[in-house]
Amino acid sequence: MDLGNHPTVESHSDGTVLTSAPQDTPVDRATAAARRVLEALLLTDRANANLERVAEELNGIAEHLEQHAPEVRERMVDMWSGEGVTRHDPVTGPENAIAPPLVLAGMADGSVRGEVTLTIPYQGPPGCVHGGVSALLLDHTLGVANAWAGKDGMTAQLNVRYHRPTPLFRPLTVQGRQESVDGRKIHTIGSITADGEVCVSVEGLFIDKKVPRPR
Ligand SMILES: CCCCCCCCCCCC(=O)SCCNC(=O)CCNC(=O)[C@H](O)C(C)(C)COP(=O)(O)OP(=O)(O)OC[C@H]1O[C@@H](n2cnc3c(N)ncnc32)[C@H](O)[C@@H]1OP(=O)(O)O
């Protein structure tokens, strides 16, 4: 992808935040509220007599947002301008309601890491994180690790090993690190740990390829 100018381990200090932490802006507050709605819908009593009204009100909000939406092409240009690269993705994006969102920092040793606690919308097995969600978090984290290392690409392979169930409702540490670069091939590894134990580990092969930003 064309990531534009972004911090790298060569140019920035230990602990540099690489993704967009949620801010106190209307769009971030609205997205946080949507995240809260997603979770509340899963948790509320199925017999809640007001669900019909909830559906009407949520559809009303969606209609309002749709009425104020520019053409998708135009919106995409705006989305990918400036800092946009980390504001809308499904892992770290504060503007994306399906993102937890995970905040990642770059370390002086070349790794990137962040902490996140996942809740009911990300459930796979009872009380545990869905394996696809873990793969999503790690794919993106490896992508950010590549950007931090200064050579990024597109995922060609992601080999995922699930060592033990990944718990919901507990702090998880997500990390990634570029291992080596061989021409256009980039090898990157990562893991999700809970209470110091590895739940998921990945090895990724990325290929250096630039997908231009919409203009
Ligand atoms: C702070 C800002 C943060 C911002 C950070 C944001 C991070 C976002 C991270 C998101 C990451 C994603 O989800 S990316 C989206 C998911 N991935 C994709 O959609 C990729 C779809 N696939 C493709 O576009 C393509 O197949 C590519 C790019 C992977 C490769 O195509 P290509 O460019 O034509 O390259 P090609 O000539 O085929 O291959 C080049 C060399 O790589 C090898 N190769 C290619 N594919 C594979 C493969 N799957 N497995 C093994 N080897 C492979 C070839 O054999 C060849 O080796 P040799 O003959 O040279 O030895």
DSSP 29-78: HHHHHHHHHHHHHHHS-TT-TTHHHHHHHHHHHHHHHHHT---HHHHHHH
**Whether the Cβ atoms of residue 9 and residue 108 lie closer than 8 Å to each other:** yes
Burial (0-12, 13-18, 19+ Cβ within 10 Å), 69? exposed
Instruction: Say yes or no: CB of residue 210 within 6 Å of ligand 1.
Output: no
Q: How far is the CA of 209 from the centre of ligand 1 (A)?
A: 7
pLDDT at residue 93 greater than cutoff 80: yes
Q: How far is the CA of 66 from the centre of ligand 1 (A)?
A: 35
Question: Which domain CATH number covers 163?
Answer: 3.10.129.10
Among 31, 154, 142, residue whose Cα is nearest residue 87: 31
* 214 part of a folded domain: no
Instruction: Say yes or no: CB of residue 163 within 6 Å of ligand 1.
Output: no
- Amino acid 81: pLDDT: 87
Q: What tokens appear for 85 in the block? A: 């690269």
* 101 part of a folded domain: yes
24-69 pLDDT tens trace: 999 999 999 999 999 999 999 998 879 999 999 999 999 999 999 9
* 175 part of a folded domain: yes
Indicate the SS3 state at residue 18. Answer: coil
Q: Residue 85: pLDDT band by 50, 70, 90 thresholds?
A: confident
Q: How far is the CA of 5 from the centre of ligand 1 (A)?
A: 21
* 73 part of a folded domain: yes
Indicate the SS3 state at residue 97. Answer: coil
Q: What is the C-alpha R_g of the chain?
A: 19
pLDDT at residue 82 greater than cutoff 90: no
Q: What tokens appear for 80 in the block? A: 């990918």
* 29 part of a folded domain: yes
Residue 119's Cβ-side half-sphere holds a number of Cα atoms within 13 Å equal to 13
Domain that holds residue 157: 16-207
* 213 part of a folded domain: no
pLDDT at residue 3 greater than cutoff 80: no
Domain count, the chain: 1
CA distances from 56 to 33, 52, 61, 119, 211 (A): 17, 6, 9, 26, 40
* 54 part of a folded domain: yes
pLDDT at residue 203 greater than cutoff 70: yes
Burial (0-12, 13-18, 19+ Cβ within 10 Å), 157? exposed
Kindly report the protein residue whose alpha carbon is nearest to atom 57 of ligand 1: 185
Average pLDDT over residues 148-161: 97
Indicate the SS3 state at residue 139. Answer: helix
Q: How far is the CA of 153 from the centre of ligand 1 (A)?
A: 7
Total residue count of the chain as it appears in this document: 215
Average pLDDT over residues 80-97: 89
Q: Residue 84: pLDDT band by 50, 70, 90 thresholds?
A: low
* 153 part of a folded domain: yes
- Amino acid 49: pLDDT: 78
Query: What does the alpha-carbon distance between residue 26 and residue 136 come to, in Å, rounded to a whole number?
Result: 27
- Amino acid 128: pLDDT: 98
Residue 79 DSSP code: H
Burial (0-12, 13-18, 19+ Cβ within 10 Å), 3? middle
